[in-house]
Amino acid sequence: VIRKRIVLEAKRLLVNLDLSVTEVSYQLNFKDNSYFSRFFKKQVGFAPEEFRK
């Protein structure tokens, strides 16, 4: 449930705000940008940069 909420918020931030992936990861309290990218890709099937397109 928590992972789904984090992914939902990450998607919202990536689509609606002009934030870098690094800024999105920090907004969601990820200390490591590469971990956020791996987490996002595992949950969604796309890297954050790919999802944004």
DSSP letter for each residue of 18-42: ---HHHHHHHTT-S-HHHHHHHHHH
Is the pTM higher than 0.85? The answer reads yes
pLDDT at 32: 94
Are 51 and 14 spatial neighbours (Cβ–Cβ below 8 Å)?
Answer: yes
Instruction: Work out the pLDDT band at 2, boundaries 50, 70, 90.
Output: very high
CATH of the domain at 39: 1.10.10.60
Count of structural domains within the chain: 1
* Per-residue DSSP letter, 17: S
Return all residues near 32 (Cβ < 8 A) that are at least 6 apart. Answer: 25
pLDDT at 53: 82
pLDDT tens digit string along 20-51?
999 999 999 999 999 999 999 999 999 999 99
pLDDT at 1 over 90: no
Please state, in angstroms and rounded to a whole number, the distance separating the CA atoms of residues 31 and 53.
Answer: 24
Name the residue range of residue 44's domain: 2-52
